[in-house]
Amino acid sequence: MLKASTRRIGWILMAATCGAAFGQRTGTESKGVTERRAQATALRDSFVKATVAAGMSCPIAPPKIVVEDVPGYASYDSATNTLKTGAWEQLTDDEKSRFFGMLGPGTTEDAARAEFEIGANHWVFVRELESWWLACRKVSEMGSAYAFESGVNRVEAAYWRQQNASVIEHMRGVFQIMQKNVPSPVPVGEGVEAYYDARYPDKFKGPPEYLWFQARMCLAVFDEKPSPTFAQALKDMSSSK
């Protein structure tokens, strides 16, 4: 799984040893952090290239990659045009335990780390690359928050469908587990979208409630027919501003 990304890592690491890919860095860092920077830079560049090919490029530079532990596993800061992302070794024991717990008893560290790499360092990371694209294209939420969030998820699904469909199939399983294990927070007789819109972004009862909605949205866009292309999904989001 994720063979295309793995191949890119080798080329980026080779460039880094020549001092060309990332610029000079002071001090020393672990192999894991260096590899994560290489992977994140390759994925960032792939995403940027895809937006250019779609005719929906950004007028600002791609975000600078900073590798450190960050809440939510990735975070874009428009003020500094910086995208933070973490390496497995930088996670706290509590953060790591979430990936062990997701897979159940007997999970090895290699398996937990693989789950982190796909869920956090691919899916969540690209979600934050979308935040960069939305900011530089001056696209902001208008109307229904549920519809806007669904549009953001639609863009990511289209990106992975184009780049590496195995990511979607993996995340489909993750979201199905979320929906199975977290009961619907929507009261009987109340509309799902109306309930979400009334509570977004900071009135949810907790992370599980928000994740239930994200799982519902993502599973819905995964199954849309016909599936929009990445270019069409970007254009649809851009036209919403």
3-state secondary structure the chain: CCHHHHHHHHHHHHHHHCCCCCCCCCCCCCHHHHHHHHHHHHHHHHHHHHHHHCCCCCCCCCCEEEECCCCCCEEEECCCCEEEECCHHHCCHHHHHHHHHHHCCCCCHHHHHHHHHHHHHHHHHHHHHHHHHHHHCCCCCCCCHHHHHHHHHHHHHHHHHHHCHHHHHHHHHHHHHHHHHCCCCCCCCCCHHHHHHHHCCCCCCCHHHHHHHHHHHHHHHHCCCCCCCHHHHHHHHHCCC
Per-residue pLDDT reduced to its tens digit, 54-83: 999 999 999 999 999 999 999 999 999 999
Token code pair at residue 12: 């980026």
What's this model's pTM, rounded to 2 decimal places? 0.85
| Phi and psi, residue 79, nearest 5° | -65, -35
Tell me the mean pLDDT in the region 3-19. Answer: 26
Average pLDDT over residues 93-117: 94
Q: pLDDT of 189-228, one tens digit each?
A: 999 999 999 999 889 988 889 999 999 999 999 999 999 9
> What are the residue ranges spanned by the domains of the chain?
142-241
Binned at pLDDT 50, 70 and 90, residue 241 comes out as: low
